[in-house]
Each structure stands twice: as C-alpha cells, then as structure tokens.
Amino acid sequence: MIDKRRDSEGWWEAVYSDASIVTQVDDGRGDPAGGVGEATSSLSAPGAVVAFLELLDLQPGDRILEIGTGTGWTAALLTALGAHVTTVEVDSGLAEQAAARLERHGNGVEVLVQDGAIGAPGRGSFDAVHVTCGVTHLPYAWVEQTRPGGRIAAPWMPEWGDGHKLNLTVTGDGLASGRLVGGADYMMLRAQRGTLRVPSDTSDARETGTRIDPRRVAYESYGADAAIAGLLPDVAGVACDGDRFELVLADVAGTSWARCRRTGTAEHQVLQAGPRNLWGEVADAYQRWESWGRPGRGRFGLSVGPGGQVVWLDDPSNVLRR
C-alpha cells in the first residue's frame, strides 16, 4: 500500500508501472490491502489492457459492449478513444463505485448490473465486445449482440492449460471465428468459475504405467495446450511441481480422475479411477498434436455458433474432433 501524500514519487511510479493491482478479494468479503484471500477483481496491467484494445480495431463513434466493469478504468479508456460504451458488471458494489468514478470524470458510460454472460440485451447491435474476464465457453449472446464484421476480444481460459488471447470476427451467418493471438491470464467470469475435484483417497484407483513423460505433456507448448483443450474440452489438468512432478487430471462432470507421477525412469506411474481413461485420452491428444507436426498456438482458432464452440487448426473448416 502506497500513501500518495507521504510518497508522491513512489505513488506515481506505481501508477505508471506495467503491473496489475488487486482491488477486491473473496468477492468483497476481504480486504485487498491485507494480502490474504482469493483475488476476485483487479485493475489489469496496462500492457495487457492495450494488447486487447488493439484487437478491437476501434473507430471513433463505435458502440462497445464491455464485459466486466471492474474499476471502470478500461471503460474510460474506450471512451477516450471515441467509443460509446455499455459496460456490464455482476458485482453491484463494484458497479456502483465504477459508475460514480465514470460520472465524476464525465465519461458518459452506461453501467449495467447483471451477469456478463447475457451481455446487454435490448441495447441493439454493438461494433465490438471487450471482455475483461476469462471464459471457458464464450456465450453466444455476445455473438448475437455484435454486428456482422464486428470484433470480440476475450481471454479464452479453457479447462486445460494456460489461457489464450482470442480475436474473433462476427460473420453474417451468425457465427464468430478467429485465431489465438497470444497468452492471457485473467480472473474467470463468475458464472464460469470451476474447481478441479480429485479425491484424496486413492484406494480405489487402478495403477498403470506410461512411457510418455507427464511433465512434457503439461509444459511442452502452448500449441499442445490448444490442441488438448480443443480435443478434450471437459478435461482439466493441474501441474504440481515438487520433489516428484505430478499431473492431476479430472473431468468437469466429476466422474473420473487421474494422477500421473513422473518417476525419473523410463516408466512413469499412473493412478486413475472412474469410467474414463483420462490419462489415455490426454496422452492420445498430445500424440495427435505431435503427429500434426507440433503446430504452434497461432495456427489454432475458435469458432462460436448457436450450438456452442469448436477449436480448429489452420482453417475453420478443419475442426478438431476426438
């Protein structure tokens, strides 16, 4: 915590640093200055914000739908670029504070308190959607509320691997499609928060072995992350570094789990339970990525339609299938 009155120079240095600032913990139940609790809202690092704003290719007068108001800072930046902004915030306390700041500085932003997953129905068609929170599944409402040719810039945070910066263009046939254009690490849309559920009791697990290194599967490439996430959208994985690396897997339905432990030998240990062979599915997806020539992240993309979303390689017609 920096007191502007006591340390003016340090305060300005912090303001202009390329760092994020946590502004809320535990959905408002804790004190962000205490350094304790789960961060649930923040002011993103300027570099990350600029990278997303550049994807929107804004023109003065554009109508922008922002998902996740937070402090109101990015909404103010959008208005400074000449946009007309409608911003949606699920947390009424954050929305009230942001609306007061924006009004105080004359930004003319419409602030709505509701679930960002529904967008802003009844507000007409927007030129672009700017998403400030991570999403595993892009709500189709955002596509419906964007004009043909409009953009959607969002942090795609699939169940598997690291997050990706996503740049979609909405087409006249009611679809949105675009490539992965870099990394992203954002707090999740509250409606899509998830947890990896793996029981501590492994007495009912079946034990097998594998010659595929689980650490390589977890850390190999952002392209491998995109491939596995596209082929297995309902499988989550968490890498646990320590004395002995372990990759923990679970399906989002909570039916199956696996623990893949690196042994330091040619044969690694696999413990898993449930109807699915999760390690086998993940290992197969990883090997398919290798068979494609180990494509990088930039060759993958995502398309969103009324029936959901799909991941593709090189071209929207080349959809990844299990």
The residues annotated with a catalytic role in the active site are: 44
Residues with Cβ within 8 Å of residue 47, at least 6 apart in sequence: 18
Cα(71)–Cα(17) distance, rounded to whole angstroms?
Answer: 17
Cα(48)–Cα(174) distance, rounded to whole angstroms?
Answer: 29
The region, left, alpha or beta by phi > 0 then psi within -120 to 50, assigned to residue 274 is left
List b or e across 34-63, with b for residues whose CB sees 16 or more CB atoms inside 10 angstroms.
Answer: eeeeeebbbbbebebbebbbebbebeeebb
Torsion, Cα of 29, 39, 56, 159 (10° steps) = -110
C-beta neighbour count of 200 within 10 angstroms: 4
Cα(275)–Cα(278) distance, rounded to whole angstroms?
Answer: 9
